[in-house]
Amino acid sequence: MPVRVAVPKEVMPGERRVALVPEVVKALAKAGVSVTIETGAGRAAGYPDDAYTAAGATLVADRRTLFGGAQVLLKVQPPTLEEAAWIAPGTVLVALVNASRSLDRVAKLRDGKVAVFALELLPRITRAQSMDVLSSQATVAGYRAMLIGAGLCPKFLPMLTTAAGTIRPAKVLVLGAGVAGLMAIATAKRLGAIVEGYDVRRAAGEQVRSLGAKFLELQINAEAAGGYARELTDEEKKQEAAMVAKAVSEADIVVTTAAIPGRRAPILVREEMVGSMRPGSVIVDLAAETGGNCALTKPGETIVAHDVAIAGPVDLPSQLAFHASQMYARNLQSFLTLLVTKEGNLVTDYSDEILAASLLVADGTVRHRPTADLLAGGKS
Ligand SMILES: NC(=O)c1ccc[n+]([C@@H]2O[C@H](COP(=O)([O-])OP(=O)(O)OC[C@H]3O[C@@H](n4cnc5c(N)ncnc54)[C@H](O)[C@@H]3O)[C@@H](O)[C@H]2O)c1
């Protein structure tokens, strides 16, 4: 019997992505996996039902049947409480669970004996790169953020020599040069702006410069375990603030992407820095969802303060749903090679390093320690 994989339509308001796209369905079908898709699941991302059936998927309109009949459920967002109740014990769920923000759902899945793989927990090792949904979705977010910045900016980004005279190029500053920041820098360069990038990890400097942008240097290196940033000391924060303040005051567009895993995003742009910017300048804060890198950011809104537009988008990958879904689906295809053997059987031994690290819930137990602690604290 082939492994039965199912993909429901995402129901979170504003979510346009879908977990599998027809191209990946076709590859899975070829590998002997049976794929069921909820009717209309890919429509918002630009993938019609007939493209899925042509790729070998079966369409199901009844959501309850789809959730209850799968061996492996693939999603983008965590299931709702109602959806979680429909999932049969022993089912494997793979999604971006964001456990700390969906504890009620995690508890329900635990009690329902669902095996849950949370893709945000994937280790960032070379072997997991092709599965790394955080990277693929951050790539989309960085690109989209730069376009939002360009759209809000009342200036051209490139230098222009026209009959009406010469136009000077806009200055773009990108704070945080991880995956999203580097993509924002690359996009700003393609648009012809003068670009500066900054990150607390010194290793990011080389990557920023390789894109043709200037790297703002601070004499510290805050790279910690796993290539992520550590929190800065108070003295380091002062030095950083002075340098960032100057760069912000000179920029036409500031894109902020700074994050520290598991913590509130650091405030890099304080209110007085916003006040120092030229009227019409723009800030796009990618960290809006985790508290924002700008003190004035309002998640999900674009506001104007001190004559500066401040955008705090929280759904950037969803805004570019076609390619965000395609990349996500390819990541899942790669992840599934760990869960389904070449002979077409579902793996039940989760000792592989990648599976073990991303396993959030199994056999009625929360395996991820920080989530288990949070649940114990909330007595769920
Ligand atoms: N499989 C892999 O090997 C793999 C995959 C993806 C990413 N990575 C690496 O992991 C690192 C983090 O990637 P990410 O994009 O997920 O990061 P992230 O989203 O956690 O953070 C974004 C950036 O913000 C920076 N930052 C944090 N505090 C800051 C501050 N106060 N000021 C300025 N910048 C600050 C971080 O250093 C990071 O570069 C990068 O080096 C990336 O290349 C490795």
pLDDT at 232: 78
Q: How many CA atoms lie within 13 A of 300 on its CB side?
A: 2
> Is any ligand 1 atom within 6 A of the Cβ of residue 179?
yes
CATH code: domain 4-131+321-378 is: 3.40.50.720
The encoded tokens of residue 61 equal 């309109």
Q: Is the CB of 233 under 6 A from ligand 1?
A: no
CA 223–ligand 1 middle distance (angstroms): 9
Tens digits of per-residue pLDDT, 4-60? 999 999 999 999 999 999 999 999 999 999 999 999 999 999 999 999 999 999 999
CA 233/CA 223 separation, integer angstroms: 13
Cα separation of 36 and 53, whole Å?
9
Q: Note whether 210 and 194 are within 8 A (CB).
A: no
Using a 6 Å cutoff on CB, does residue 129 contact ligand 1? Answer: yes
For ligand 1, atom 10, name the residue with the nearest CA: 227
* Element at 333 (helix H, strand E): helix 321-339
Enzyme catalytic residues: 124, 129, 132, 135, 228
Atom of ligand 1 nearest to the CA of 201: 37
Residue 138 alpha carbon, nearest atom of ligand 1: 15
Residue spans of the chain under pLDDT 70: 219-220, 379-380
Mutate to test the pocket of ligand 1, among 98, 124, 182 (most ligand atoms within 8 A of CB): 124
- Please report the pLDDT score of residue 380 as a whole number: 52
Domain 4-131+321-378 and domain 139-314 have a common topology: yes
Q: Which pLDDT score is estimated for 217?
A: 83
The pLDDT score that the predictor gives to residue 379 is: 54
Is the CB of residue 67 below 6 angstroms from any atom belonging to ligand 1?
Answer: no
- Encoded tokens for 166: 């010469």
Task: From the options 3.20.20.70, 3.40.50.720, 3.40.50.1820, 3.30.300.30, give the CATH code of 139-314.
Answer: 3.40.50.720
**Domain assignments of the chain as residue spans, ordered by start:** 4-131+321-378, 139-314
Nearest CA to ligand 1 atom 1: 124
